[in-house]
Amino acid sequence: MVEEQTNINVTAEQKIWKILEEVKDPEVPVLSIIDLGIVRSVNTSNDQVAVNITPTYSGCPAMDVIQMDIRLKLLEKGYKNIIISQSLSPAWTTDWMTEEGKRKLKAYGIAPPNPKQQFCSTEMFQQEAVQCPRCNSFHTEVISRFGSTACKALYRCLDCKEAFDYFKCH
């Protein structure tokens, strides 16, 4: 009987993970919070749902929206007792973004985070070779360290002359 109980719990939690795929990043609506890799854990007990997330970086205004969206989505699906908490450590890195997420980001016209880059500082960031999401050229230059939002930087491709957002490493 214990085993059966466990199975029920796994199913309930898997259901929540599935629902969370419908919660999008307000800044990049093609990405779900699962693609972003910010959901750390999902726990259900009785009628309570506990979701733990790690902000893409502290002070990112999108996080408040994301927390609200998670709550609204779960309410919509009939869950009432919802606890959303944040884990600040370990800090989120772009490595947590799924391959699917990076692919979607590129298809959306935003250069995905450079997978080779393990850390970044202001100096490194300026020298970083960012690939153009349209023509794949590395011949790009930074226009502004802040793009359409603080989480992105604005770049220009010197080959196809298009400006594009780059999803910054934090």
Window 109-138: residues binding Zn ion (CB under 5 A): 132, 134-135, 137
DSSP per residue, 107-138: HTTEEPPPTT-----HHHHHH-----TTT--S
Question: Phi/psi zone of residue 78: left (φ > 0), alpha (ψ -120 to 50 degrees), beta?
Answer: left
CB of 60 or CB of 132, closer to Zn ion: 132
CB of 92 or CB of 167, closer to Zn ion: 167
Q: Find the shortest distance in angstroms from Cβ 106 to Zn ion.
A: 12
160 part of the interface to Zn ion, by CB under 5 A: yes
154 part of the interface to Zn ion, by CB under 5 A: no
Helix axes 62-76, 2-20, angle to 10 degrees: 130
Q: Find the shortest distance in angstroms from Cβ 51 to Zn ion.
A: 38
Chain residues in the site for Zn ion (CB under 5 A): 132, 134-135, 137, 157, 159-160
